[in-house]
Amino acid sequence: MTLFFSKAIVYSWFLWFVQCQNVNGIRQYHLSEISYTPQSRTIRGEQVPLEFYEAIERSDKKKNELQHRLHHFLENLQKNLTTSTVFRDFKPTASSSENYATKMSELSTFFHDASFAAGLFAHENERFYDVIKNSSYALLLKLRQVPAAQPTQVKTVLTNYFSEMEFFHIMFSEIVDEALEYTVGTLRAVQRIFLQFADVQSGILQDWKLKLDFECCKMYMDFLQYHSAQVFKCAAGRELNVAYDVYAMTKINAKYIMRQLEFRIQRLFNCFIFKKYEIRCQFLQNAERDFESLFNKLEELEMYLDIKTKQGRASDLRFHRQSYIQHDDVTTKSTEPLSDCLPPNFPFSQIKSELRSCFYLFGGK
């Protein structure tokens, strides 16, 4: 956290140099973008880019699709690959071996589709995190639309306020990046593992030429069922659930933060429309205090990420790792998410000689 906060001071001071917009332009802006309800003077939230909400929707949709696809897999696996479903009146006839092949390719297709669904969610998730950062930046840019021609005193407090918001934007973006690294990293790993596993299966079916007698088919089915369950439990287990949680938490906080930023910008605009600085612009006097609750929110989110994704490892490990351990192959490998879900040298090391001899590829009996 300390390192995190110390990064920011560098960025400031640019806002006033950029442009002096004329007051008329600003008035038009207000009239077109801010609307009041007569009684309460509350303002409709129109500052957050529409894209932000669209990105949430798309990302949620892909998350639900993935969850739906993975739902009940273990039960279905159990149901689909049993002797009674696959081998009901199993005789070496064309139709029964066709049934066997269908069941086997359904399993491979499942992993293939699940991989695809994980990839889609990863993509939309990454996009959403990008849009969060962009939207936060877009809100920051709106501050530039406050007319620059202000009394010096006001200008000074405004400048402070801008730097505070910019500082916040930078911190916020960094935390979003942390969330991104975890969720997208995990989802990409799931995608890769499922695809690899599906490919291995279809490769075996196509090229290894299983002997189609009951013993061999049963043995291979048991083998596949066991490893499918293992791979699935590993890849779609704890880390994927943490990724869902991190995604949900980031989303909730991003929504909250966007609304809060929006509120601050609208309040600022109002305060300059009416030009009663002393009364309406009190918050400008102490920018730090005005942003305090938002920084607290960020800190909570960062703590949540720390606890969830690092499992009690010291949080400076991440910085340590990024700066020093890049070249250390062993460490880098072991930190790759889910790297051991597919057993090494699968399936060659796992297939016992009895099953191996069921394949013509290995000169089966």
Ligand X SMILES: *[C@@H]1O[C@H](CO)[C@@H](O)[C@H](O)[C@H]1NC(C)=O
Give min distance, CB of 171 to ligand X, in A.
18
Give min distance, CB of 117 to ligand X, in A.
13
Rounded distance between C-alpha atoms, residue 151 and residue 272, angstroms: 12
Q: Which string of x and - marks every residue 87-126 that binds ligand X (by CB under 6 A)?
A: -------------------xx--x----------------
Binding of residue 196 to ligand X (CB under 6 A): no
The only residue of 43, 48, 131, 271 in contact with ligand X, by rule CB under 6 A? 131
Binding of residue 173 to ligand X (CB under 6 A): no
Retrieve residue 171's tokens. 């911190």
Select from 70-78, 138-146, 200-208, 252-260 the region that touches ligand X (CB under 6 A): 70-78
Task: Determine the distance from the C-alpha atom of residue 109 to the mean position of all C-alpha atoms in its chain, rounded to a whole number.
Answer: 25
The only residue of 28, 42, 64, 76 in contact with ligand X, by rule CB under 6 A? 76
The only residue of 21, 105, 134, 357 in contact with ligand X, by rule CB under 6 A? 134
Binding of residue 224 to ligand X (CB under 6 A): no
Rounded distance between C-alpha atoms, residue 93 and residue 99, angstroms: 10
* Other CB atoms within 10 A of residue 276 CB: 11
CA angle, residues 334, 340, 345, in degrees to nearest 5: 115
**Half-sphere exposure of residue 340, counting CA atoms within 13 Å on the CB side?**
3
- CB closer to ligand X out of 3 and 74: 74
- Residue 266: enclosing H or E segment and its boundaries? helix 238-274
Environment class of 79 (CB within 10 Å of its CB; exposed 0-12, middle 13-18, buried 19+): exposed
- CB closer to ligand X out of 43 and 81: 81
Task: Determine the distance from the C-alpha atom of residue 129 to the mean position of all C-alpha atoms in its chain, rounded to a whole number.
Answer: 7
Give min distance, CB of 196 to ligand X, in A.
17
* Binding residues for ligand X (CB under 6 A): 73, 76-77, 80, 106-107, 110, 127, 130-131, 134
